[in-house]
Amino acid sequence: MINRLSKRKNKLSAVYLLPNLVTLGAMFCGFYSIVSGINGLYIQSAIFILIAMILDGLDGRVARLTNTQTSFGEHFDSLSDLLCFGIAPALLIYLFSFSPLTFGYLAKLSSIACFVFIASAAIRLARFNSRNQSTDKKYFIGLASPASAATMVCYVWLLKDMNVDVSSYLTVTFVMIISLSILMVSNIAYFSFKDFNIKQKVPHLMLFVISLIVSFISFDPPKVLFIFFLLYALSGPVMFLTRRLRRNGLYDSNITHKTDDKEKTL
């Protein structure tokens, strides 16, 4: 009996190494991003968050490919995401844009905005973990926290690369933080790209397109990446409005058809 209990404890305490190492690497990038931001290395801080985003996309795929998916890995990944895509980008934007505001209502509002971003990322992650497994995996409900964080850090990278006066962009920065926070906790659908299977064969033209994308990003990384993630963040509201307009258009067309039929009968 004691041997059986000890064996069960050993089974429960064991974890798969490979996917959790990838998650741990992403967590380290989030931590080092915070350290870099505190030391004033804002571009380096932004790049480490982007690297964490790449690793975050890999750990799940590694777990699925190696058949090493566990509930521990899911919770561990969520804690890493909160650090990398909630706390780290909020601290980066605060140190880069709002740290000179030492007093007044603007300083308080900036602190509140950064906290709202962290809270929204936590809510988004908790809702994602508690989702129904039968939901369509083709779409995310709400803007994913990695995409939201990438939009914000690329914005910091762009302003730093352009060497502009950050104080003149405080309103834009504040609106961006609040907008991204709202999109994370919203019910707007976004493409998840999880239906893309890397094992499937693709046309040779796809490799040419990928090479064009990589070369285009290397031309001016901060501008290209910021535009890309900004367009993705806006794609959800655009799809939402397009669907609403189509529904209203169909509804109006049905009403006109019904009224025309009534006029004909009269």
Q: Of 18-27, 127-136, 145-154, 181-190, give the lowest mean pLDDT range.
A: 127-136
Taking only the tens place, the pLDDT of each residue in 38-52 is 999 999 999 999 999
In a domain, 75, yes or no: yes
Which amino acid belongs to residue 97?
A: S
Beta bridge partners of 191: 139
Which of 4-18, 150-164, 196-210, 212-226 has the weakest average pLDDT? 4-18
What token pair was written down for 234? Answer: 């806006």
How far is Cα 115 from Cα 87, in angstroms, rounded to an integer?
9
Which residues span the domain enclosing 163? 12-265
Lowest pLDDT segment from 26-30, 119-123, 135-139: 135-139
Read off the pLDDT band of 211 (50, 70, 90): confident
| Mean of pLDDT values over 103-131 | 88
In a domain, 156, yes or no: yes
Residue 214 lies in a domain: yes
2 located within any domain: no
Question: Residues 192-202: what's their mean pLDDT?
Answer: 67
In the chain, how many domains are there?
1
4 in any annotated domain: no
What pLDDT was estimated at residue 196?
A: 63
Q: Residue 7 — very low, low, confident or very high, per pLDDT cuts 50/70/90?
A: low
Report d(CA 189, CA 219) in Å as an integer: 31
Q: What is the pTM of this model?
A: 0.82
Share above pLDDT 70 across residues of the chain, in percent, rounded to a whole number? 81
The per-residue pLDDT for 199 is: 64
From 115, 116, 127, select the one nearest 78 (Cα to Cα).
127
What pLDDT is recorded for position 118?
96
The pLDDT-based confidence of 103 (bands split at 50, 70, 90) is low
Q: Is residue 172 part of a domain?
A: yes
Residue 107 falls inside a structural domain: yes
Comparison of pLDDT for 253 and 202, the residue scoring more: 202
Beta-bridge mates of residue 189: 141
pLDDT value at 13 more than 80: no
Average confidence score pLDDT of the chain: 83
Query: Is residue 202 scored above 70 in pLDDT?
Result: no
Burial label, 22 (beta-carbon count in 10 A; 0-12, 13-18, 19+): buried
Distance CA 72, CA 177 (A): 31
- Give the contacts of 83 (CB within 8 A, at least 6 positions apart): 27, 30, 31
232-259 burial code (b ≥16 CB/10 A, e <16): bbebbeeeeeeeeeeeeeeeeeeeeeee
Q: Are 149 and 84 in contact (CB under 8 A)?
A: yes
Alpha-carbon torsion angle 127, 128, 134, 138, nearest 10:
130
Determine the number of helices (DSSP H) and then strands (DSSP E) in the chain.
10, 2
User: To which residue do tokens 């299977």 refer?
Assistant: 197
Q: Domain with 216 in it: what CATH number?
A: 1.20.120.1760
Q: In 3D, which of 244, 135, 119, 230 has the Cα closest to residue 185?
A: 119
Residue 12: pLDDT above 60? no
pLDDT-derived band at 29, boundaries 50, 70, 90: very high
Q: Are 120 and 184 in contact (CB under 8 A)?
A: yes
* 6 domain-assigned: no
- In this structure, what token pair is assigned to residue 94? 């605060």
Crossing angle of helices 204-219 and 221-265, in 10° steps, is 120
